[in-house]
Chain A
Amino acid sequence: MTFPGGRRALTAVVALVLVVVGCLAWALWPSGKPVRGQDTAISVVDGPADDQRVTLDATFFPPATGGKAPAVLLAHGFGGSKQSVRDLAVRLAGRGYAVLTWSARGFGRSTGEIALNSPDYEVKDVRQLVDWLAKRPEVRLDGAGDPRVGIAGGSYGGAIALMTAAYDSRIDAIAPEITWNDLADALFPDAGGNGPINGVFKKMWAGIFFSSGGSGLAPDGGLDAQGLAGLSGPSGPAQALTPQQVQCGRFLPAICDMYQTVASTGRATPEAINLLRRSSPSSVPDKIRIPTLLIQGQRDSLFPLGHADANARQIAATGAPVEVAWINGGHDGGDNEPDWVFDRTADWFDRWLKNGPGSTATGTGTSANAGAGTGTGTGTGTASTRTAGAAAGAAAFTVSRDGGRDPGTRQTVLVHATANGYPGLSGTTRTTVRLSGPEQQIANPPGGSPASISSVPGFGSLLRSGGGLGVSLDIPGQAAAFESAPLTAPAHVTGSPTVQVKVYGTGEATLFAKLYDSSGGPVAVLPSSLVAPFRVTATEEGTPVTVTLPAIDRTFDAGHRMRVVISATDLGFSTPATPAVYRIGLASPELTVPADPALVTPATGPAWWTWALPLAATLAAAVLVLTRRARPARSTADRPDLADVPLVITGLGKRYSNGEKAVDDLSFRVERGQVLGLLGPNGAGKTTTMRMLMGLILPDEGEIRIFGHPVVPGAPVLSRLGSFVEGPGFLPHLSGRANLELYWQATGRPAEDAHLEEALEIAGLGAALERAVRTYSQGMRQRLAIAQAMLGLPDLLVLDEPTNGLDPPQIAEMRKVLKAYAQGGRTVIVSSHLLGEVEQTCSHVVVMHRGRLVSEGPVDGLLGASASSNGSGHRLEDVFLDLIGESR
């Protein structure tokens, strides 16, 4: 059965699907015109004597916006090539920058050897790339030969950004990521503060670092935070290599020799330190004077947060604006937040290259004029930096923190806590936590094995399970632990805690300090899997040493303990092979913990829509409900003059959804005491009329009044109407009696008015009354339905084909019932297409055909009139056929 609602629902569903598909397409459709890179080979001359010719494989991406745009040099990570940063370059070009990517010397298709970002080699190369950019018509110039240019890159690429900024004053802004301040310190860290000469060799990272460059066949991707995963790619074509090449790959021989030496001894030499420092920003402390955005990873055991801290202090000391961000990931894996980093970097360049100083030639005061590109690259006051920072809405210090889990995907999400100033690793506030623990003996195993595990370079992301649990393992007997009492309140640590220990024994001890977050559960968490190695000469009376623990950002929950562990070994570092035993004790029970309360996470309170949506929905719902109240009858007023007339129908009309009229201009009137027969062939509109009478369907025109009250859906006067239309309707799982009882209760009227027993008498079901209705025959249901219509003995009883399905004795009985029912002043309307039936039961008759009234009046009158007009007989059947215009 089709009905208009069905088609409308279908339309709605189709519309909904279209909207969803449209939204998807809109969200996923690639936007903007594609940016095309132009591959080019750029010849440069470098070397200490400027006599080495190297060809750099480069790609230039013109700005998508056209015209003259600021340029960005995009450098790749160690082991990578220009292909590693291609996607970023395309995005930056799409944002309106001329972007140049290149494979550094010794990488990709570029010639030359790796010199570790040496001022004599790589830095000279990049300066010539800047020269090249200055000749491009797409690049905006600050002066002759001086393009407006920034440099960005991660790891190895970040270092070249810093180094070039120090040696070339034409650079206007840089955004180095997860890179070093002092390469010597990164490979030979000493948390005791005695510098790399005393440092512990970070052997695994160093090995990966040098072998990935040494292979000379490094695949794309490189070391920028991918670790070994990026190193295991397919090798290039096999070539016959000399032993020198096998050992050193594409490294400069001097660097290769240096590595061979330090890796075999595990100790730094002054020469090695000098060589590494030449490639480090720490060697040019006051020369980087341009706006710098330092992005460092919290999970980075290669270049930990301390390197960004040193860079930040060094650059800020020149007065240049510096902002620092600690992202979640790093060389050890985790989330490197590429989208956030890209946005932050692009915003940084927007601020300092696009809207920056050079555009205002006067350049006084308003915003910073750092790196104004006039060849001096002089810095500017911090006050104006703050102004600019505030104007751009960025924060000087951003820390990515765990923001709980996304309820939809159950993935961890990050939030970015921000502060207006970068406090350094010692925080803006320092508190002390009391540690306790006896002096403990620890052993250095012969050969340094087995070793404690904190992080495994290159495998960090593989070992780390989703919940932020590191794989950390201390070998019993090799580690001493000192623990605080359970914290009474949550303690937030941002920076490097320090602890003072004493080392008893003889000889030189290589030790590793870690700060665990112990919940009392089975596993204590080593934040970011970081350790602080230190080397100290143990004495019998105890050598005190202040250990700077790894910089972290973490909340230690209330009830948790801070646990400092001093271990004799660590897998990632080179440790002495000679067995030894030391005693470790606390020199001071106080663990100094830095924090930065100014770091606040942007309000994670409910998003605006969490209250706006339900409110809007409630309003919309109110509108939906209130704007379509049941249509009032044309004249809502009751007609007291008709209060005693059971039924008056005036001008009634109803169309089917196809426009054909089911009932057309029907008017008649029924008086008390009548048994009215509604007569007509199938499709005459009898049932439709009855449905309108019950308020089930709404007339298109005209009105129906029952006892003077207009009939609308649910009109209270329908309580005086009993009906049986188009078959019975019962709950099949209930018995006949329960059906009638519940029906009566549903009307809400007093039980004593139901006259249930009389109605059941009419139904005549006997014992079957207690059976479920679904077991009834058609005739039994029919009788039960008529009984239901008579419940409460309504003043007006409407029955549609009541004798269908009844056997002849029951039909005869039914006639009597209906006649008797009307005698008490009540009214009965019976529809039928059985003429004999109407003739025998009804006092009056209304004849309908094709929705229209054909005739009405007393049965006798109708018969009489018909007889007198054509004399063909006195049977209603004849009259009826006459009336509807069909002859036999």
Chain B
Amino acid sequence: MSVPVSPAAGEDALGYARGYAPGRTLPLRVEIVRQFRRRRTLAMFALLLALPWVLVVAFQFGPGSNGGNSLRLSDLATAGGLNFAAFALSVSASFLLVVAVALFCGDTVASEASWSSLRYLLAAPIPRDRLLRQKLIVALGYSAAAVTVLPLMALLAGTLAFGWHDIRVPGTGEIIAATDVLPKFALVIGYALVSQLVVASLAFLLSVSTDSPLGAVGGAVGLVIVSSILQAVEALGSFREFLPTFWNTAWLDALSPQPDYSGMIKGVSVSVTYSVILIAFAFRRFRRKDVVS
């Protein structure tokens, strides 16, 4: 240790430290770097990128095709890259992507609290609203990357393994030209993103409310599980339409020969509704919260 002798940075006209501006605190780039080098971030992306290849290998090993008579999505997976990507998305959207999104959004504030670094960020000072905003943007960005990277890698893996063919529609076996489907595929990924917003925002709210990152992630995943169970109860009738996960598979409608977007529109509506409220609660809560961790 030695003694610091430099003069202080001094204050500006307002009486704040020189060069300090609330709007410049916690730049997105800094938050991205802070999160990126975490093991769980890297492990999650490695898993998402590897999964399509694992599926490809699994399909190679499996018993030969059943003659192409079956028209289920899983049996059509080997019909081409697009079919494979649709299959990969359908099998992962219900749980793997949920976990990924819950991880990125549920961990972000709670882990800072558990490391005690949150109080130093707040005392830097980063205004609380800004801290939440920047963290939310970065967490959603990582979530979006996770949801996007899987179908894209599946498209690549599927195309390399099974070739670039037009898509065969499950159920009727109709063929749609690949060039027609590609823009729809972008729409599907976009919808998958929006439908994960509920998970993201709930995880974020829990992240703000607890010091335990696992609690926040688990809570959000738990919600998805409970909602999926409830939506299987047909006695609930149209109540189910308002369950956050009810419309999660509506994107399949976009890939049919006569795309029907009404389910997706409802899904977006429900998803946005829940997310906006949950995120508003997160901000409201964090603003006045006593940070004691």
Residues of A within 8 A of B (CB): 1, 3-6, 9, 20, 23-24, 27-28, 404-410, 467, 519, 521-523, 557, 604-607, 609-611, 613-614, 616-618, 620-622, 624-625, 628-631, 638, 643, 691, 694-698, 707-709, 713-721, 723, 725-734, 742-743, 745-750, 753, 755, 758-759, 761-764, 783, 788, 790, 792-795, 810, 813-814, 816-817, 820-821, 824-826
Taking CB atoms, residues of chain B closer than 8 Å to A605 are: 262
Does A721 lie within 8 Å of B123, measured CB to CB? Answer: yes
Does A824 lie within 8 Å of B5, measured CB to CB? Answer: yes
Docked CA distance A28–B235 (Å): 7
Does A753 lie within 8 Å of B19, measured CB to CB? Answer: yes
Does A625 lie within 8 Å of B280, measured CB to CB? Answer: yes
Does B292 lie within 8 Å of A24, measured CB to CB? Answer: no
Taking CB atoms, residues of chain A closer than 8 Å to B117 are: 729-731
Taking CB atoms, residues of chain A closer than 8 Å to B16 are: 716-717, 719-720
- Is B187 an interface position by the 8 A CB rule? no
CB distance from A775 to the nearest CB of B (A): 14
Does A749 lie within 8 Å of B19, measured CB to CB? Answer: yes
New A-B pairs, 16, CB < 8 Å, besides A714-B128, A720-B11, A729-B118: A5-B285, A521-B172, A521-B174, A522-B173, A523-B173, A617-B272, A694-B123, A719-B125, A726-B119, A727-B116, A729-B115, A753-B9, A762-B1, A795-B8, A817-B1, A824-B5
Taking CB atoms, residues of chain B closer than 8 Å to A709 are: 15
Does A628 lie within 8 Å of B171, measured CB to CB? Answer: no
- Is B124 an interface position by the 8 A CB rule? yes
Does A694 lie within 8 Å of B20, measured CB to CB? Answer: no
Tell whether A628 pairs with B15 under 8 Å between CB atoms, given A729-B115, A813-B1. Answer: no
Residue of A nearest to B1 (CB): A813
Does A745 lie within 8 Å of B27, measured CB to CB? Answer: yes
Q: List 23 A-B contacts (CB under 8 A).
A: A1-B292, A404-B262, A408-B241, A521-B173, A522-B173, A606-B265, A613-B273, A618-B276, A620-B280, A638-B15, A716-B16, A719-B20, A720-B11, A720-B16, A729-B119, A746-B26, A748-B26, A749-B18, A761-B1, A762-B2, A790-B4, A816-B1, A817-B3
CB distance from A718 to the nearest CB of B (A): 4
* A-contacting residues, B202-257, CB 8 Å: 206, 209-211, 230-231, 234-237, 239-241, 243, 246-247, 249-250, 252-253, 257
Task: Type the 1/0 row for B98-109, where 1 means its CB is closer than 8 Å to any CB of A.
Answer: 000000000000
How many chain B residues have a CB neighbour from A under 8 Å? 101
Task: Type the 1/0 row for B13-51, where 1 means its CB is closer than 8 Å to any CB of A.
Answer: 011111111111111001101100111000000000000
CB distance from A842 to the nearest CB of B (A): 17
- Per a CB cutoff under 8 Å, which of B18, B210, B277 touches A624? B277
Does A723 lie within 8 Å of B34, measured CB to CB? Answer: no
Taking CB atoms, residues of chain B closer than 8 Å to A729 are: 112, 115-120
Task: Type the 1/0 row for B252-293, where 1 means its CB is closer than 8 Å to any CB of A.
Answer: 110001101011111101101110110111011101111110
Does B8 lie within 8 Å of A825, measured CB to CB? Answer: yes
- Per a CB cutoff under 8 Å, which of A3, A408, A617 touches B246? A408
Does A630 lie within 8 Å of B288, measured CB to CB? Answer: yes
Does B30 lie within 8 Å of A746, measured CB to CB? Answer: yes
Residue of A nearest to B40 (CB): A733
Taking CB atoms, residues of chain A closer than 8 Å to B231 are: 408-409
Does B284 lie within 8 Å of A723, measured CB to CB? Answer: no
Docked CA distance A408–B8 (Å): 63
Residues of B within 8 A of A (CB): 1-9, 11, 14-27, 30-31, 33-34, 37-39, 112, 115-130, 171-175, 206, 209-211, 230-231, 234-237, 239-241, 243, 246-247, 249-250, 252-253, 257-258, 260, 262-267, 269-270, 272-274, 276-277, 279-281, 283-285, 287-292
Docked CA distance A609–B268 (Å): 11
Does B17 lie within 8 Å of A749, measured CB to CB? Answer: yes
Taking CB atoms, residues of chain B closer than 8 Å to A708 are: 15
- Per a CB cutoff under 8 Å, which of B11, B31, B267, B273 touches A795? B11
Taking CB atoms, residues of chain A closer than 8 Å to B257 are: 557
Taking CB atoms, residues of chain A closer than 8 Å to B262 are: 404, 604-606
Taking CB atoms, residues of chain A closer than 8 Å to B283 are: 624-625
- Per a CB cutoff under 8 Å, which of A519, A522, A607, A792 touches B9? A792
Does A746 lie within 8 Å of B292, measured CB to CB? Answer: no
Taking CB atoms, residues of chain A closer than 8 Å to B264 are: 407
Docked CA distance A445–B30 (Å): 82
Does A714 lie within 8 Å of B127, measured CB to CB? Answer: yes
Taking CB atoms, residues of chain B closer than 8 Å to A745 are: 27, 30
Does A728 lie within 8 Å of B116, measured CB to CB? Answer: yes
Residue of A nearest to B259 (CB): A404
Taking CB atoms, residues of chain A closer than 8 Å to B236 are: 24, 27
Which of B8, B115, B240 has most A Cβ within 10 Å? B8
Residue of B nearest to A825 (CB): B8
Tell whether A408 pairs with B247 under 8 Å between CB atoms, given A607-B266, A614-B272, A718-B123. Answer: yes
Taking CB atoms, residues of chain B closer than 8 Å to A409 are: 231, 234
CB distance from A830 to the nearest CB of B (A): 16
Taking CB atoms, residues of chain B closer than 8 Å to A624 are: 277, 280-281, 283-284
Residue of B nearest to A793 (CB): B8
Taking CB atoms, residues of chain B closer than 8 Å to A713 are: 122, 125, 127-128, 287
CB distance from A13 to the nearest CB of B (A): 9
Does A824 lie within 8 Å of B267, measured CB to CB? Answer: no
Taking CB atoms, residues of chain B closer than 8 Å to A408 are: 231, 240-241, 243, 246-247, 249
Taking CB atoms, residues of chain B closer than 8 Å to A4 are: 290
Does A557 lie within 8 Å of B258, measured CB to CB? Answer: yes
Taking CB atoms, residues of chain A closer than 8 Å to B130 are: 714
CB distance from B207 to the nearest CB of A (A): 12
Taking CB atoms, residues of chain A closer than 8 Å to B7 are: 793, 824
- Per a CB cutoff under 8 Å, which of B115, B247, B279, B281 touches A407? B247
Docked CA distance A791–B164 (Å): 56
- Per a CB cutoff under 8 Å, which of B9, B206, B209, B273 touches A617? B273
Tell whether A613 pairs with B270 under 8 Å between CB atoms, given A696-B119, A746-B126. Answer: yes
Does A519 lie within 8 Å of B174, measured CB to CB? Answer: yes
Taking CB atoms, residues of chain B closer than 8 Å to A3 are: 290, 292
Which of A407, A519, A611, A730 has most B Cβ within 10 Å? A407
Docked CA distance A748–B36 (Å): 19
Taking CB atoms, residues of chain A closer than 8 Å to B38 are: 733
Residue of A nearest to B22 (CB): A716
- Per a CB cutoff under 8 Å, which of B8, B239, B277, B280 touches A824? B8
Docked CA distance A795–B15 (Å): 11
Docked CA distance A710–B80 (Å): 65
CB distance from B240 to the nearest CB of A (A): 6
Docked CA distance A13–B269 (Å): 24
CB distance from A639 to the nearest CB of B (A): 10
Docked CA distance A605–B116 (Å): 51
CB distance from B245 to the nearest CB of A (A): 9
Does A716 lie within 8 Å of B276, measured CB to CB? Answer: no
